[in-house]
Homo-oligomer: A and B are copies of this chain.
Amino acid sequence: MMQKRKIKIFDTTLRDGTQGEQISLSAEDKLRIAQRLDEFGIHYIEGGWPGSNPKDMLFFQRADQSQFKHSKIVAFGSTRHARYCAEEDPNLRALLEANTPAISIFGKSWVLHVERVLKITPEENLSLIEDSIRFLKSRGKEVIFDAEHYFDGYKDSSEYALQTLLAAETAGADVLVLCDTRGGTITSDLAQIVRETKEKTTVPLGIHAHNDSGLAVANTLIAVEEGCEHIQGTINGYGERCGNANLCSVIPNLQIKYDYQCVPEKNLPQLTTLSNFVAEIANVSQPLNLPFVGKSAFAHKGGIHVNAVMKDARTYEHILPEKVGNSQRVLISDLSGRSNVIYKADELNIDLKKHKEKVPKIVNQLKNLENDGYQFEAAEGSFELLVKKLIGEQRDFFELKGFRVTVEKDESGAPRSEATIRLKVNGITEHTAAEGNGPVNALDKALRKALIKFFPEIKKMHLSDYKVRVLNVKDGTGAKVRVLIDSSADRLLWSTVGVSENIIEASWQALTDSISYYLMQLKNSNK
């Protein structure tokens, strides 16, 4: 049994994470993420490079006025430029202006970089490192030294790479972080280099791994086995090129598999929400199959697996999903059998025992709809409505007589969208119209306007996400599209689906399912 070692977590989502394609964060976004990382119990939050752009400087000003319980905010920058002495280097001065308790400073440890990019001698580079760190230490900062390209540098010249670390150590660096900047080092090589480095240094070691070979998580774990006690990574593995070590995989591995301590034990169940929160702020979609935190991480599809999981979840789950705030799911697809449909229905509190004879019909209908492009895995609201209709427990709330949606644009530029709708509720016809920001929004508004006097409760519901996926891409703009709508009201969240070659029709299906689902829930809770 290993001992409960403490590992320091250094998050660089706000700095290295934003180097990822499609990841862009405003100062406000960064502050919101930093507050969540602090609540989660992260030790260091690298906020940006104050010397590089005004947005990052703004973040440090805002962070300086905020309170953090657990986390130290860190400013990032490079060693002094060869042209300046440390005191006068504009980059080092910007780092001090950021007014953070800790500073992370990177230096080159690969001769190739020193000679081809910095265009200075290896000896000059060593004094750049030493001077810069000594200067920052003299101003009372905690200094984290990032040895950029350490592993590539070490393979090229282990002697020189080690000299850069020793220069940092001599100057008083608090941590020496070994960076696999290109992400190209394989796990066993990395383990050996960390082991050899550990023997020749005295300051705590850290690891900063990139995922270009698909090994960032494994490399981080093995580095900890070899003695690193400071880990750099990002939420969801965002970062340059293929990203950084994903802290949402690293932390639960270290904490559950190795029994090390990274964040307070009671906070670990926040992990899934934290991961989703950061994805939402960064406005990128979450891959379903993310380890630990992905929507599919504990999802079972094949009938045999579902059957086994119902007997004992350990058969196909490596940890209890609740430990990381995730949960078990059973998927409905053409690989599903009766087990899946029954499990799913049970989860939704639909009692299928009374309707045993209808189960094959339900399975069949689901398979036909999936063939047409519907997907119920992510649209449980539509699934529930469908099953309830098929077993006769649900009728339509309204009857559509017709709608027309128009978008007009002229030379003046801005387009205008209008929808008219005619529908019937309990024999009463309503005919109305609305304008909107776009055709779907106009239709949504007209539909709500027509329904609200019959069902005033729908005022409370909101559409929180609207996704469109083209199914048969080869058909270009004439392709079939699937629309997924996520809705919310108070604490209730649900998703619905529509499929058509016409985006308005597909949106209509998902919209009406969304409203019907909500009305059905209200009706049931009023029972």
Contacts and interface: CB of A to CB of B under 8 A. Distances in A.
Contact of A308 (B117, B184, B292): B117
A289 B241 contact: yes
B296 A241 contact: yes
A407 B289 contact: no
Copies in the complex: 2
Contacts of A181: 316
Contacts of A204: none
B316 A502 contact: no
Interface in A479-516: 479, 481, 500-505, 507-508, 511
A257 B291 contact: no
Contacts of A314: 112
Nearest to A226: B188
Contacts of A511: 477
A415 B20 contact: no
A240 B305 contact: yes
Contacts of A318: 182-184, 212-213
Contacts of A430: none
A118 B16 CA distance: 49
Contact of A409 (B20, B257, B296, B402): B402
A437 interface: yes
A312 B110 CA distance: 13
Interface string A319-335: 10000000000010111
Given A400-B409, A403-B409, 6 more contacts: A21-B295, A52-B335, A241-B298, A405-B408, A415-B504, A439-B439
Interface of A: 18-22, 24, 52-53, 55, 112-113, 116-117, 149, 181-184, 186-188, 211-215, 217-219, 221-222, 225, 237, 240-243, 246, 249-250, 253, 257-258, 280, 283, 287-292, 294-303, 305, 307-308, 311-312, 314-319, 331, 333-335, 370, 375, 377-378, 400-411, 415, 417, 436-441, 443-444, 462-468, 470-471, 473-479, 481, 500-505, 507-508, 511
25 contacts: A19-B305, A20-B296, A21-B289, A22-B375, A22-B377, A24-B370, A55-B334, A113-B308, A182-B318, A186-B257, A187-B218, A212-B318, A213-B253, A214-B292, A237-B289, A241-B296, A241-B297, A406-B406, A417-B504, A438-B501, A438-B504, A438-B505, A444-B477, A462-B476, A464-B476
A-B pairs, 5 with minimum CB distance: A184-B318, A463-B476, A218-B218, A214-B249, A438-B502
